[in-house]
Structure 1
Amino acid sequence: MANTLVMILAVALYLFSGAIFSLRLFRAGAGTRPAKKLGLIPGFSALLLHGWLLYESLHTLQGVNFSFFNAVSFAAWVIALLYLLAALSKPVESLGVVLLPIAALTLLLDYFFPGIRLLPPHTDWELRAHVISSILAYSVLAMAAVQAVLLAIQDRHLRKHHPGGFIRALPPLQTMEGLMFEMILIGFVLLTIALISGFIFLDDMFAQHLVHKTLLSIFAWLCFAILLWGRYRFGWRGRTAIRWTLTGFVVLALAYFGSKAVVELILKR
């Protein structure tokens, strides 16, 4: 019962925080625009409650429960944490309109569709480090993907000379693009660490149950590597950068959660 109330409160706080950031976007320049801290305080409060619920569901006497919706909820928690920390000093509030409701949704899914997928209680620290770096890489690159979508919307409106609505509240196109590439670079470094640690510490990254994840992760890594090289060498930006970013993220999402969803939710293994 206590967990249910905490979950409901966390969901409500996430949605309230997202609504405040939405109002800040759509009322840019208006005198009734809510203060930034009015969105940050409930966001961080929801984050604390979400973290407590995750601790309760992840840690069991038999080991760490890393079932599909647990893993998705954990990734959403990390994304929300990174977003809220970034929002303290960077103009990334617009991401909260998407990221915070998604975090609330993952809480609901984890609550209504619990599962069991245990990691042994004495899992080596190397494997834990590999899992954590993988989740961090996915989280940062997920933020970059959302930023790419907002950038695409902004670019389309500006090309059609319709910079109305919330588009006027977004930072300048160049600033938005710069933030996206900062996220991509950080995520790329983390993804590199995740892949290297996997090849060093896991017995066989090309074992039957891992080969699809490995190949898709490498392909995603190549997408981001090519994008960063193109940015450095040829100054890639705009639609080219958006396409490479979204392609890389979709492939990475399939690598991290696609096969896990098939095995646990469809095949019931």
Structure 2
Amino acid sequence: MELNLALFRFATTLYLIGTVAYLLYLFIPKKWVYRSASLTLLTGFILHTGSFTSRIRMAGFPPITNLHDALSFMAWAVIGIYLLILLKYKIRVSGAFISPLALVLMLSAYSLPKGMAPLLMPYIKSFWLPVHIILVFIGSGFFAIAFCVAIMYLIQEHQLKSKKIGKMYYSLPSLDVLDNINNRSLLWGFPLMTFGVIFGSVVSRQLRGSFIAWGTREIMTVTIWVLYAILLHGRIYSGWRGRKVATISIIAFIVLLIAFFGANIFYGKGLRFH
């Protein structure tokens, strides 16, 4: 078995164990459960990083030319961003919401062909394609965090309004903290997505001779960008907060996932995931 695939499988296994431990923490809020979950997830992230490094050394270019790699990279971005957020905010229970999403992405990647797609066209070797894809997926990773935090926000708000205080109420942070994390995730994710789309236009220019092809995928990309632009504009200039922002964050990320998976279902395999 190739080293990169072995590391990928070990990372997937550790993400699974870490996710189970985080979910267990919801019912058994003991420090040792949380520490075990976090350490397991961190170890999985390190192995996942090693898998990418090995794959890059083998191929000589970033391994982002098929759907398997795309899903794996998005999962890596989600976990990496989560670990950084954990260092700042110390929100232990957040792993129970974020790690399952990363696990679903990893398991989806695990089920797909893992062979590296050949570089059939000279433009793929250009600097701009990997920059485009990496920026888009890291931006999507921040949007994934905003999505998970929005779910936490709605759960916490429901408990407060219904006055049905459960165990999770004491584990979840305040609404202000959750809203702040959502805001910061959007402030990081949107510029990354924007630059990713710009560099994608450069790739389109190299491939088709025009910056925008206006195919289905391009229209969906613009739609997603507009949704997040409206959301961020509302936050900054219209004072949007709370439930409205949480709801739009959830809707926008669901649209992103539908566009991503839908494009690959309808356009088939190969280099058409971006």
Q: TM-score, normalised by structure 2?
A: 0.81
CA deviation map 1:8-47 (0-9, x unaligned): 543332233234433444445xxx4327543332211111
- State how far apart, in whole Å, the 2-side matches of 1:231 and 1:2 are: 47
Say whether residues 1:158 and 2:160 are aligned partners: yes
The one-letter amino acid of 1:206's match is: I
Residues 66 and 116 in structure 1, CA contact (< 8 A), matched pair in contact too: no
Superposition map of 1:254-269 within 5 A? 254-264=258-268
| Match of residue 13 from structure 2 | 12
Structure 2 residue ranges without an equivalent (≥5): none
Contact conserved, 2:74 with 2:105, CA < 8 A, in 1? no
Residue 213 of structure 2: aligned partner: 207
Q: Residues 14 and 260 (structure 1 numbering): CA distance in 2 closer, same or farther, change over 3 Å? A: same
1:7 CA displacement: 4.8
Q: 2:46 aligns with which of 45, 48, 54?
A: 48
Query: Which residue of structure 2 lines up, in the alignment, with residue 68 of structure 1?
Result: 67
Native 8 Å contact 1:14 1:46 kept in 2? yes
Instruction: Provide the residue aligned with 1:103 in structure 2.
Output: 102
Q: Mean alpha-carbon deviation: is it higher for 47-56 or for 224-233?
A: 47-56
CA contact (8 A) 1:223 1:247 kept: no
Partners of 1:7 and 1:115 lie apart in 2 by: 10
Contact 2:71 2:106 in 1 (8 A): no
CA deviation profile, 1:70-125 (whole Å, cap 9, x unmatched): 21111111111111122122244333213323434444443343155726286111
Amino acid of the structure 2 residue aligned with 1:166: M
Separation (CA, whole Å) in 2 of partners of 1:34 and 1:213: 45
229-238 or 168-177, which moves further after superposition? Answer: 229-238
Deviations 1:39-77 (A, max 9, x none): 332211111222333455677659746222321111111
Q: Is the 8 A contact 1:20 1:34 kept in 2?
A: no
Contact 1:95–1:143 (8 Å) recurs in 2: no
Q: How many residues align?
A: 262
Structure 1: state its 5+ residue gaps.
Answer: none
| Aligned CA distance change for structure 1 residues 46 and 152 (closer, same or farther; 3 Å) | same
Provide the residue aligned with 2:253 in structure 1. 249
Task: Tell me which residue corresponds to 1:134.
Answer: 136
Question: 2: distance between equivalents of 1:137 and 1:24?
Answer: 29
Paired amino acid for 2:99: L
CA shift digits 1:167-209 (9 cap, x unpaired): 221110111111111101111111111122223443135336x
Distance 2:236 2:12 in 1: 41
Aligned to 1:85: 84
SS at match of 2:212: coil
> What letter corresponds to residue 259 of structure 1 in structure 2?
A
Counterpart Cα distance in 1 of 2:57 and 2:111: 18
Q: Distance in 2 between matches of 1:220 and 1:261?
A: 18
Contact 1:134 1:194 in 2 (8 A): yes
Distance change in 2, residues 1:175/1:232 (3 Å)? same
Q: Deviations over 1:217-250 (max 9, x none)?
A: 2222222222222223332122211222122222
RMSD (Å) for aligned C-alpha atoms: 3.0
Taking the aligned partners of 2:56 and 2:266, their CA distance within structure 1 comes to 21
| Change in 2 beyond 3 A, CA 1:261/1:91 | farther
Instruction: Note closer, same or farther for the CA distance 1:242–1:15 as it changes in structure 2 (3 Å cut).
Output: same
Task: Return the alpha-carbon distance in structure 1 between the equivalents of residues 174 and 156 of structure 2.
Answer: 9
